[in-house]
């Protein structure tokens, strides 16, 4: 059974940093691209970032480019999202997703972790 468990969310002050983790199990993690999306309270889904199987290629939404860094540790079956210089607009539930059937869309999403940016 595919499982994705996000962690690392919480309350952070504007300008602060957080690192999110996504622990994967139930599938060969190193085989698939991975994605992060976010959902602000009461709003829709917004794609944030993606990473290839071996981590050598990454891509970001314009809104987070230069502030967020996606990475993965295939030995630990874990995906990461380093978030720097956070602002209130980054407040959201962050979901990690695995792209099994197609690299350009996720088949399965975790339950998410809430990031709140506030002073």
Partner 1 sequence: QAALTQPPSASGSPGQSVTISCTGTSSDVGSYKYVFWYQQLPGKAPKLILYEVSKRPSGVPDRFFGSKTGNTASLTVSGLQAEDEADYYCSSYAGSNNLVFGGGTKLTVL
Of residues 16 and 53, the one with the C-beta less far from partner 1: 53
Name the site residues for partner 1 (rule: CB under 8 A): 35, 37, 44-47, 50, 57, 59, 61-62, 95, 101-102, 104-112
**Dihedrals φ, ψ of 56, to 5°?**
-85, -15
**Cβ neighbours of 83 (radius 10 Å):** 24
CB of 90 to partner 1, least distance (A): 16
CB of 82 to partner 1, least distance (A): 19
- The gap between the terminal CA atoms of the chain, to the nearest Å, is 40
Return the C-alpha torsion angle 10, 12, 17, 23, nearest 10: 0
List for the chain the helix, strand, coil content (%; round to 5): 5, 50, 45
CB of 77 to partner 1, least distance (A): 19
Of residues 16 and 40, the one with the C-beta less far from partner 1: 40
Token pair for 62:
């314009």
Of residues 9 and 112, the one with the C-beta less far from partner 1: 112
Of residues 15 and 105, the one with the C-beta less far from partner 1: 105
CB of 51 to partner 1, least distance (A): 10
């Amino acid at each position: 059974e595919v499982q994705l468990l996000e962690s690392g969310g919480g309350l952070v002050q504007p300008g602060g940093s957080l690192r999110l983790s996504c622990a994967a199990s139930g599938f060969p993690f190193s085989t698939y691209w991975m994605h992060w999306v976010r959902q602000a309270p009461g709003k829709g889904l917004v794609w944030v970032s993606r990473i290839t199987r071996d981590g050598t290629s990454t891509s970001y939404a314009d809104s987070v480019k230069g502030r967020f860094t996606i990475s993965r540790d295939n030995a630990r079956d874990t995906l990461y999202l380093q978030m720097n210089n956070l602002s209130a607009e980054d407040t959201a539930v962050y979901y990690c997703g695995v792209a099994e059937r197609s690299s350009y869309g996720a088949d399965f999403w975790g339950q998410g972790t809430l990031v709140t940016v506030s002073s």
